[in-house]
Structure 1
Amino acid sequence: MSKLILHIGMPKTGTSSIQETLFSQEQLGEFSYAKLGVVNHGGIITSFFSEDPYAWRGHRVAGRSPEEVARFNRQISVKLNEICLAQGQQIISGEDIWHMVESALVKLRDYFASQFDCIKVIGYVRPPASFIGSAFQQLVKNHDLARLTPSAYYPHYRNKFEKFDRVFGRDNVTLRVFAPEQLEGGDAVVDFCQLLGEPIPSEKIQRVNESLSLEATAVLFAYRREGPQYAAYPGKARDNNALVASLADFGSRKLRFAGALIDPVLEKHRDDIAWMEQRLGLPITDQGSMDSEAITSEAQLLKIAVEQFDALKNYVKQQKEKADPTPQQLAHWIEKLRTAIAGRNSNGLVPVYGSQCFFTEKQIALLEDEKLPPVVALRELALAFERHGRIEEAIKVIEAAITLRPDVEGLYKLKDRLVARR
């Protein structure tokens, strides 16, 4: 009987170690790791089955046009067809699948259901306080996060997991608590392979530790706030990954969020947590840290970053000495000298967070409302761009808002005002 295993994460549950292990093995007993040309299948699966051509963030980061996205998906179609022809026991793994909308999951199910006798879903559930801290770090690393808003990183369990029960059937969805005491051997890779009925020797497991220290996270967060905001370009993800990887050995303390910061978020979502616990049949409730060094505010995180000035200066020097110099690198260091002296980027503008927050406090309070209509969010973004003198961007955003709600007269007035400021 042919079978497709769909491993959906959730994010920050040992998925990278599972993927690297499966990718390195190619074959795990009766199971084959789907040959899609990448270790993590989530992005390309999201791209192929989603109506929105930019549902996968990777396309935006690379600056791909709609035509380029369509060409990308045609190439993926060939690879998926090869997997279906091979049939057997196949594994697809990607935490981005956890984020896919239900209609895209239906398309995924229907596509593979005609080729495989059964589809089984495996997911891991990380407790909320632990997830919030880990998700914050991930967003700082890969999504240019420049604000500390714990409520924005809450995982919304029911919204994310219940759709899999509806689409694939609850009997076909296995969810496990991501906690050492609940995992086979206290390890996600061992546990996953055990669920497949294919135990794996420890020497074949590929360990991936993607976390940064408190110090590294703090300086990277400060960079996201105060540094240049790069536009999309084909090598952006690669360059960012190299930057993050270069900080892997910087600092030694562990990032923890204090209970004062996290616990109110957990209280707000206690019904959602209760639903997840009922679905699992096990508790997942945890709490913020009581450690004296636990982070209580954005200001504290930035203070820690500033305290790393001398250590970072020496660390950068060490990293620089490992690279062969080029004219481009020399120009880059001269630009760093200019920035250090002038306190401004090369375009002559103070970085967006240098003198004030991109959004006002009133706007932030408004945007934190989960039920905020998209058109209102677009209006506030346009106003923020206007406030920072980025008129052309403001006009593009308000035009998008008008497309969404052409019946709102106030949007036209705002556009007229922006056009007059060109």
Structure 2
Amino acid sequence: MTKPNTRLIFHIGDPKTGSSSIQRVLFSSGWTSPSRTLAYPDRISAVPMAKSLYPDARAKRRRNLFTASAEWLTMQSADVSVLSAEHFAFVAPAKLRSVTRRFMPDHADDMGIIAYARPHMGRLVSSFSQAVKIRGFQGSFEDFCQGAVTSRRFHYAPRFAEWQATFDARFTLRPLVGSRLHRQDVVADFLHTVLETDDFEITADTRQNESPSVAQLACLRFVQSRLQGTATPDPARKAICASLSVRLQAAADTPGQRLKMPASVLAPMQQAYGEDAAALDKRFFDGTPFSDALQDAARNTTDAHQSLAMADHFSPAQITELGRITDGIIAELDADPIGWQRHHRDVKSGISDSEDEDQAFVARVAGLLDGICTTLA
């Protein structure tokens, strides 16, 4: 093995911790530094690489993707080179270690792993919004919380302990707590951590993928419910609603009422996550940021009913028109089940005017999505 010209860093998420903002700034070179350099690939995330490590992934695809990244690394001379995808968070750490040792042997023993974790109560709220927006979850917030506790999805300590046991001091976990972040910003904190300097400026907007308002969630849930009752494939349904969410937020004059944790579920959730918060604090952090966040969560709860029923936010005429437009989207997706999915993927990857894209189809669907925004304005 030879000493590489650049140090490899894997950014592995976690989900709902500002990964989209970090990726967008790095992909667009939206930062500057007179003293340090960072290389980033020509696609916005390394999701295919991460998914190639899943148990059901094909070995040939894994080999091709890691070989291509290894070749890319040989051409880099920046201080650090970053590969980023939230999907790495749910890969077995030992699997990533063994694959990098095989395909990137010059980097495997020195590469760094960085992850962020969001305090439990904030993660529940943001993940519920995401479940409604993308997966079409139709249950209540209380249902979602109970399911999360039962599945232990947000019990962080065991999963991050496995990453630390595998990579030792090369694994870094950062708390997504404003007072703990460099410049109180996750993008600035990431750059400060991987560049090991404060000698940089961020020139791009760091706000990406913000949570929708309660009224926007009601709209998204309505559209999801209509799509779920059709032959629309799940990937197409998710891509449509992800695109609609972005458009709704861009079209809104004001942010609108944001979802908060219902006060009725606070105590049970504090009890459910108390041990996990304490374990994280003890193993990874100076002080007790996760336990403190759990105890302070009452500040961000509400006793008010946060309805996701369309009738509580929009007029009968608006609801009727929304149904009509959604039926138009369904008809388009029936004719081309994967066209919008591909378009959405390309947009997220920073690809514009793809030659494989049916421009007329994209224009029609985009017009329908914009029509929803106009109807609900």
TM-score of the two chains, using structure 2 as the length reference: 0.69
Partner in structure 2 of residue 203 of structure 1 = 203
Kindly indicate whether residue 217 of structure 2 is the aligned counterpart of residue 220 of structure 1: no
Say whether the 8 Å CA contact 1:139–1:145 is kept in structure 2: yes
Kindly indicate whether residue 69 of structure 2 is the aligned counterpart of residue 80 of structure 1: yes
Say whether the 8 Å CA contact 2:16–2:123 is kept in structure 1: yes
Q: Distance in 2 between matches of 1:238 and 1:316?
A: 21
* 1:282-339, Cα deviation, whole Å (9 max, x unpaired): 321325446685566xxx5334x3312329828967xx9xxxxxxxx7972898xxxx
Which SS does the other structure have where 2:261 is aligned? coil
Q: Distance in 1 between matches of 2:25 and 2:287?
A: 28
Q: Distance in 1 between matches of 2:124 and 2:166?
A: 27
Letter in 1 for 2:70: N
Say whether the 8 Å CA contact 1:26–1:32 is kept in structure 2: no
* 1:186-238, Cα deviation, whole Å (9 max, x unpaired): 11111111112354313245431421111111332344356534543775554
Say whether the 8 Å CA contact 2:49–2:66 is kept in structure 1: no
Partner in structure 1 of residue 369 of structure 2 = none
* 1:52-100, Cα deviation, whole Å (9 max, x unpaired): 23xxxxxxxxxxxxxxx77765652453232243354311111111122
Partner in structure 1 of residue 123 of structure 2 = 131
CA drift at 1:181:
0.8
Partner in structure 1 of residue 181 of structure 2 = 183
Which SS does the other structure have where 1:176 is aligned? strand
Q: 2:328 aligns with which of 326, 332, 348?
A: 332
Q: Map 1:55-66 to 2 at 5 A.
A: none
Say whether the 8 Å CA contact 1:12–1:126 is kept in structure 2: yes
Partner in structure 1 of residue 244 of structure 2 = 243
Partner in structure 2 of residue 47 of structure 1 = 51
Partner in structure 1 of residue 156 of structure 2 = 157
CA drift at 1:31:
1.8
Q: Which has the larger radius of gyration?
A: 1
CA drift at 1:245:
1.9
Kindly indicate whether residue 233 of structure 2 is the aligned counterpart of residue 255 of structure 1: no
Say whether the 8 Å CA contact 1:295–1:301 is kept in structure 2: no
In structure 1, list runs of 5 or more residues that go unmatched. Answer: 54-68, 321-328, 336-345, 347-422
Q: CA 1:271–1:293 in 2, change beyond 3 Å: closer, same or farther?
A: closer
Q: Distance in 1 between matches of 2:127 and 2:16?
A: 7
Which SS does the other structure have where 2:128 is aligned? helix
Kindly indicate whether residue 111 of structure 2 is the aligned counterpart of residue 119 of structure 1: yes
Say whether the 8 Å CA contact 1:256–1:294 is kept in structure 2: no
Which SS does the other structure have where 2:113 is aligned? strand
Q: Distance in 2 between matches of 1:175 and 1:74?
A: 28
TM-score of the two chains, using structure 1 as the length reference: 0.62
Letter in 1 for 2:286: G
Letter in 2 for 1:139: A
Q: 1:310 aligns with which of 291, 295, 315?
A: 315
Segment of structure 1 superposing worse, 8-17 or 241-250: 241-250
Letter in 1 for 2:54: S
Q: Distance in 2 between matches of 1:292 and 1:27?
A: 36
Partner in structure 2 of residue 172 of structure 1 = 170
Segment of structure 1 superposing worse, 157-166 or 98-107: 98-107
Q: Distance in 2 between matches of 1:203 and 1:312?
A: 43
Segment of structure 1 superposing worse, 100-109 or 187-196: 100-109
Letter in 1 for 2:315: D
Letter in 2 for 1:133: V
Runs of 4+ in 1 over 4 A off after TM superposition: 69-75, 233-237, 287-296, 314-317
Say whether the 8 Å CA contact 2:73–2:81 is kept in structure 1: no
Which SS does the other structure have where 2:179 is aligned? helix
Segment of structure 1 superposing worse, 236-245 or 124-133: 236-245
Say whether the 8 Å CA contact 1:50–1:104 is kept in structure 2: no
Q: Distance in 2 between matches of 1:267 and 1:234?
A: 36
Q: CA 1:103–1:85 in 2, change beyond 3 Å: closer, same or farther?
A: same
Q: Distance in 1 between matches of 2:235 and 2:126?
A: 27
Say whether the 8 Å CA contact 2:9–2:82 is kept in structure 1: yes
RMSD between superposed Cα atoms in Å: 3.5
Say whether the 8 Å CA contact 1:260–1:288 is kept in structure 2: no
Partner in structure 1 of residue 15 of structure 2 = 11
CA drift at 1:123:
1.5
Q: Distance in 1 between matches of 2:216 and 2:327?
A: 25
Q: CA 1:168–1:71 in 2, change beyond 3 Å: closer, same or farther?
A: closer
CA drift at 1:110:
2.5
Q: Distance in 1 between matches of 2:102 and 2:209?
A: 34
Say whether the 8 Å CA contact 1:146–1:222 is kept in structure 2: no
Q: Distance in 2 between matches of 1:289 and 1:84?
A: 47
* 1:222-274, Cα deviation, whole Å (9 max, x unpaired): 44356534543775554332222232245600110123223312302321111
Partner in structure 2 of residue 32 of structure 1 = 39
Which SS does the other structure have where 1:253 is aligned? coil
Q: 2:280 aligns with which of 268, 276, 291?
A: 276
